Chain A
Amino acid sequence: MNIVRAHILVCRGTGCSSAHSEEIFKRFEEELKAQGMADEVKMIQTGCFGLCELGPIVVVYPEGAMYTRVTPDDVSEIVSEHIVKGRIVQRLLHTEKDSAEVVADLSKTKFYEKQTRVALRNCGVINPENIDEYIAVDGYEALGRVLTEMTPEEVIDIITKSGLRGRGGAGFPTGLKWKFASAPAPVKYVCCNADEGDPGAFMDRSVLEGDPHVVLEAMTIAGYAIGAHQGYIYVRAEYPIAIHRLQIAIKQAREYGFLGDDIFGTGFSFDIELRLGSGAFVCGEETALMTSIEGNRGEPRPRPPFPAVKGLFEKPTILNNVETWANIPRIILNGADWFASMGTEKSKGTKVFCLVGKINNTGLVEIPMGTTLREVVEEIGGGIPNGKKFKAAQTGGPSGGCIPASLIDTPIDYESLAAIGSIVGSGGLIIMDEDTCMVDIAKFFLQFTMDESCGKCSPCRIGTKRLYEMITKITEGEGTLEMLDEMEELCHHLQKNALCALGQTAPNPVLSTLKYFRDEYIAHVVDKRCPAGVCTKLLTYEIDPAKCKGCTLCARNCPADAISGKVKEVHVIDKSKCIKCGVCMSNCKFDAIVKK
């Protein structure tokens, strides 16, 4: 163990890695070596810090200075100024929006101040590839205590009392699930659902990348609680960094004896294997996931029997989502009451959300249940960019619904969101501004669920297809008012009759937009107009003669040769040729082109 004077943490989550954080890490190592300081400064790669919008992120301790949007070329300046001379490089610090204040300490930014980090507590703090760092932050202590001091019943009891509910979307009480699976049986399994598939959601990936050991520890605890000896983590192959770190973590845990035989000298044995999914959305559904682990085509099967009775390989199985697992060791260490003190009456603890879309602080946030959408959007998220107005938020991705601006003060918890026709879901939170067409967004999600439908049951296979056809007609100006009613009827049919959650929840985006934004549908159907200016078939581009200076820029850039006009004379768009690409509009220096 070397005592060093500074730690440089570089985010190596997927977001920052795609913005050259690997190169930044290497440049730091080279630069420190060149300055002869490789022994006194330690380089650490971490998981996601959460503020992906400002990545790549580098944090230097002991000051806790957070540098944002660092480029490889900034490295030598950070080393020669901060590390050599102790002068924080102000230029690279995060500046709060609407304030001149430059914040050096990341925990003091508005983005972090409002958050409560339980599942993400180690992300961006420890090196995920070093088991010692996990142990230093009380890692595997919960497992040790469970195995040596608690009975399986006590473990299930504490999880039940904490009020923890499944973070994968359905919100089923975790303790109850474990209890169902605890009935005596010779072989049982513990599974981790890391098949995160919602567009714009990346909380599970971030936990796996930033703190893989927490999942291993929690699964082993569950193994003890229900009497299982084998666990599987089903993770999608599109998450190479997460898989790599999980492989390292499993290897280290086996070496240290946290996995394997006779753990903590108690005679209890447990091991975990990875199973890679090829990215089918339906495999995030529990029965389809288990079918896929068994080596078959990932298709759901009817429930009951529920997995707790007859799951993987027809044995009792518990399946929890990554984020659910990430809460378990903390609940064991801090107690059920501690966890239950956070959140609302029925929704306890915290929830991680991926804040994406039209929002200033894109990133990963963890908030106590019951925090209002307004707090998330305006305070943590830093508001909507470019002075636009908040229009709606989509929770739960393609399985969820939208929350209109009028309901922005809704607390985010299972009950409140269900009451307004949405769901908490796995944690995608897509923010939309006034430039978003709600019909188009519903169409986007429908296309997703239609493509991802496994085809096993006809309500889903045919239902999503017919819904998509109808909504496409509406966006093309060929819809009728009767069609809206037909869609609603079909939606309810799908909800009632589809085999699995994919089909049952697929209509949610349509139903909730029909409920809150029916006027937009009517504008498409009756006025043949897209109020947000998105649906291209309903748009026309025109040149305002009063503003056109005849500069010819639009005509020269039009890919369809649809614009004619002489120099210094008003130009005209030939609507029969126009392909509505918008190139003319973005090129015009006089704002003369209008979209209707």
Chain B
Amino acid sequence: MKSLAELAALREKAKAEVNLRNNGEDKIRVVVGMATCGIAAGARPVLAAFVEEADKRQLKNVMITQTGCIGICKLEPVVEVYVPGQEKVTYVKMTAEKAVKVVTDHLINGQVVSEYTIGTEQ
């Protein structure tokens, strides 16, 4: 250890490791419906894709978690994205490929991928 700057750089890197344990209000929450209906419709690969993509891009302000049945089982897998201060966005009939696009467009660039949202189904 040679300087405070070196320590600060190390800390930034290490923070990703423990970030999940501070329940910060400023984080984007990605919630994947993982009830029986969601899992049967393929929610597992969707969840895995979100985690993998977030890791690849080192998105430290994103929290990926899961929830039960939202109630629209025919549109599963359902994923909801909560950006602080904004209305939640509900994506339906998700796949691993779609998840990657949601990460790049929505989570990183703030552009809702409207063609995947629940509005297109109704």
Contacts and interface: CB of A to CB of B under 8 A. Distances in A.
Contact of A1 (B1, B58, B67): B58
- Counting contact residues on chain B (CB < 8 A from A), the size range is 35 or more
Nearest to A85: B34
Interface stretch (B15-23, B71-79, B91-99): B15-23
Given A138-B11, A141-B11, A6 B20 contact: yes
Contact of A3 (B13, B14, B35, B59): B59
Nearest to B21: A61
Contact of A85 (B23, B39, B55, B64): B39
B60 A3 contact: yes
Given A1-B58, A256-B1, A263-B1, A87 B68 contact: yes
Nearest to B59: A3
A466 interface: no
Contacts, number: 108
B102 interface: no
Given A1-B58, A5-B66, A125-B18, 8 more contacts: A2-B55, A6-B20, A7-B21, A40-B51, A84-B39, A86-B32, A141-B4, A144-B4
Interface string A61-88: 1111000000000000000000011110
B27 to A, nearest CB: 8
B48 to A, nearest CB: 6
Contacts of A130: 17
Chain A contact residues: helix, strand, loop or mixed? loop
B65 A63 contact: yes
Interface in A456-499: none
B14 A135 contact: yes
Interface in A100-143: 125-126, 130, 132-133, 135-138, 140-141
A138 B31 CA distance: 30
Contacts of B67: 86
A126 B1 CA distance: 21
B41 interface: no
A517 interface: no
B81 interface: no
26 contacts: A1-B13, A1-B16, A3-B16, A4-B20, A4-B55, A5-B63, A5-B66, A7-B20, A7-B21, A61-B23, A62-B21, A64-B21, A85-B39, A86-B65, A86-B66, A86-B67, A132-B13, A132-B17, A135-B7, A136-B11, A136-B14, A138-B11, A140-B1, A140-B7, A264-B1, A264-B2
A258 interface: yes
Contact of B1 (A62, A133, A138, A258): A258
B89 interface: no
- Counting contact residues on chain A (CB < 8 A from B), the size range is 35 or more
Interface centre among B4, B59, B63, B67 (most CB of A within 10 A): B4
Contacts of B39: 84-85
A145 interface: yes
Contacts of A265: 1-3
A148 interface: yes
A335 B16 CA distance: 27
Interface centre among B2, B14, B34, B67 (most CB of A within 10 A): B14
Contacts of B35: 85
